[in-house]
């Protein structure tokens, strides 16, 4: 069993839809990262969370430490949001990565 599980694995949405990607983990963590990987391979760090909620533009990330669960929300989705979204957790010096959620937003 992977330490980090993401769902869904693949997601197709119409432009403008509200999108939620979920991440569950089984280890105690110091922090959780949400990463975005574009089709060309480049990776951008979207959020680093250790508690609560963060918002950046149309993106919102939440984490529930007790339930070991985090969600990434995209409001008013746009085709440029199409990418793979990766959840990663850090515990001590160990890094665990989810396998990613592939998001396609259709115009």
Partner 1 sequence: SQTIHQWPATLVQPVGSPLSLECTVEGTSNPNLYWYRQAAGRGLQLLFYSVGIGQISSEVPQNLSASRPQDRQFILSSKKLLLSDSGFYLCAWSRGSIGTQYFGPGTRLLVL
Rounded to the nearest 5 percent, the helix, strand and coil shares of the chain are 5, 60, 35
For the bound state, the minimum distance from the C-beta of residue 77 to partner 1, rounded and expressed in Å, comes to 23
Tell me, by CB under 8 A, how many residues bind partner 1: 21
Helical spans, DSSP H, in 5-64: none
d(CA 73, CA 55): 9
| 10 is an interface residue for partner 1 by CB under 8 A | no
Q: Which of 7, 12, 30, 104 binds partner 1 (CB under 8 A)?
A: 30
| 65 is an interface residue for partner 1 by CB under 8 A | no
| 63 is an interface residue for partner 1 by CB under 8 A | no
Copy the structure tokens of residue 66.
Answer: 């007790």
| Closer by beta carbon to partner 1, 41 or else 107 | 41
| 66 is an interface residue for partner 1 by CB under 8 A | no
Q: Interface with partner 1 by CB under 8 A: which residues?
A: 30-31, 33, 35, 41-45, 48, 50, 86, 88, 90, 93-95, 97-100
């Amino acid at each position: 069993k992977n330490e980090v599980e993401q769902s869904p694995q693949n997601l197709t949405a119409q432009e403008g839809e509200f999108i939620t990607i979920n991440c569950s983990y089984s280890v105690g963590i110091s922090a959780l990262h949400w990463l975005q990987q574009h089709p060309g391979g480049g990776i951008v760090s979207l959020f680093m969370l250790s508690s609560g909620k963060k918002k950046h533009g149309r993106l919102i990330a939440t984490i529930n430490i007790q339930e070991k669960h985090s969600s990434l929300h995209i409001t008013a989705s746009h085709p440029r949001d199409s990418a793979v979204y990766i959840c990663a957790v850090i515990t001590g010096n160990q890094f665990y990565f989810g396998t990613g959620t592939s998001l396609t937003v259709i115009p």
